[in-house]
Amino acid sequence: MAIKITDDCINCEACEPECPNNAIYSPEQAWKFSDGTTMNDNTEREDGGFSDEFFYIATDKCTECIGFHDEPQCAAVCPVDCCIDDTDNVETEDELMLKKEKLHA
C-alpha cells in the first residue's frame, strides 16, 4: 500500500529528502519516474497523488520504503503525522518489491 499525505501537511519539507524512491514532491511540481531512479521515463506527470497545495507522494513511486527501510521514512520524520496509509492503493509485499525492482533495476 502506498502512503499518502493529507491536507494536515504544513509543507515543512522534512520528508522529501528521506524518500529512497524520490516519490515525494513539493506542491505544483510535476513528478517523473526518472527522478532518483534508474528508469528512463522523463514524462512530467500531474496524476497519481499530485497536489498543488501540499507536498505529495507520487503513488506509482511509493513502495512503503520496502527494500530500503523497516518503516516508511516519510511517516517517521513528519512532525504532524500526516503521512498515512493510502487505502485506495493497497498492494501486497510482493507487489511492492516488484515495484521497487522496477524503479531501481
In DSSP terms, which residues pair with 3 in a beta bridge? 85
24 binds ligand SF4 (CB under 6 A): yes
Place of cell 517523473: 32
CB of 32 to ligand SF4, least distance (A): 15
60 binds ligand SF4 (CB under 6 A): no
Nearest CB to ligand SF4, comparing residues 18 and 35: 18
Give the residue among 40, 41, 44, 43 at the shortest CA–CA distance from 28: 44
Please, are residues 3 and 85 in contact by the beta-carbon 8 Å criterion?
yes
80 binds ligand SF4 (CB under 6 A): yes
Which of the stretches 7-15, 33-41, 43-51, 91-99 binds ligand SF4 when contact is defined by CB under 6 A? 7-15
